[in-house]
Amino acid sequence: MAPARRRSSRCNEVSTILSVRGVERRFDTTLALQATNLEVAENDFITILGPSGCGKSTLLRIVAGLDVPSTGEVLLDGKRVAGPGADRGMVFQSYTLFPWLSVLDNVCFGLRERGLPRVQQLEIAHAFIGKVGLVGFERHYPKQLSGGMQQRTALARALANDPRMLLMDEPFGALDHQTRELMQELLLGIWEAEAKTVLFVTHDIDEAVFMGSRAVVMSARPGRIKLERMVPLAHPRHYSVKTTPAFTELKAELTEAVRVEVRAAQALGA
């Protein structure tokens, strides 16, 4: 079963957590992201596809508050996003761990910054270290860990702050194929258990279909959302779904949509 979604007390509809309204991003004279609208419901897992340079990461950074739209606005729980916040946990392709801190202290970092007592920091950190399968590695430093273990640490650190949303920018892109598949299963299991809302940028169409509850394709630069599709696959998900007609049909449609935009980007010299 998929995680239960919070419903509005006023109606029987799934509540919206994030609204992207007419967001554009211009760099000098270059329009990188054209007017983009996106509504994200509570507990959605939205995967974002598109050719390189189409604005996927720019959109994610604007939602994170790490970049500012040239026009438009982003609302999280009805409040305008004006900068980074603990309500959005960001996980990048590069592991972005503090090399001088152990796994335990990396996971505790945000909790310490929030002023939580050390005992509470440790309780929360140990719980999420357990969820990502790193029990026994608490005292290890990033240089002592594999890529997959570093990304597990980054995921635990993001989740420990109990963010309203997880924002993930190609988080498994640097991992080998088998580790990537294991991380996909791990993240889906955590999403199903924790009922988080996720925006997940990827170039991998298999990954987008397997992970997402909704898949979005962006156009070539200047980027815009050109296609949205619900993913008709039940939870919990197992890799056997990749052999089903529903998976195959959706993957084929998304593949064609992305190929069209890749060709358009090539024609533009992007």
Nearest CA to 243 out of 212, 209, 268 is that of 209
Task: Kindly state whether residues 132 and 239 are assigned to the same domain.
Answer: no
pLDDT tens over the chain, length 270 residues: 444 444 333 334 568 999 999 999 999 888 999 999 999 999 999 999 999 888 999 999 999 999 999 999 999 999 999 999 989 999 987 768 999 999 999 999 999 999 999 999 999 999 999 999 999 999 999 999 998 899 999 999 999 999 999 999 999 888 888 888 888 998 999 898 888 999 999 999 999 999 999 999 999 988 999 999 999 999 888 889 999 999 999 999 999 999 999 998 888 765
Residue 115 placed within a domain: yes
pTM for this predicted structure: 0.89
Residue 3 placed within a domain: no
Nearest CA to 167 out of 69, 45, 52, 53 is that of 45
Residue 6 placed within a domain: no
Residue 226 placed within a domain: yes
Task: Kindly state whether residues 44 and 111 are assigned to the same domain.
Answer: no
Task: Kindly state whether residues 116 and 147 are assigned to the same domain.
Answer: yes
Kindly state the DSSP code that residue 55 receives in the 8-state scheme.
Answer: S
Last residue of a domain, one of 136, 162, 188: 162
Residue 51 placed within a domain: yes
pLDDT at 62: 96
Nearest CA to 168 out of 94, 90, 225 is that of 90
Residue 10 placed within a domain: no
Task: Kindly state whether residues 174 and 64 are assigned to the same domain.
Answer: yes
Task: Kindly state whether residues 65 and 113 are assigned to the same domain.
Answer: no
Identify the domain containing residue 32 by its residue range.
17-87+166-267
One-letter amino acid of 133: G
Q: Bridge-partner residues for 216, per DSSP?
A: 48, 228
User: Into how many domains does the chain fold?
Assistant: 2
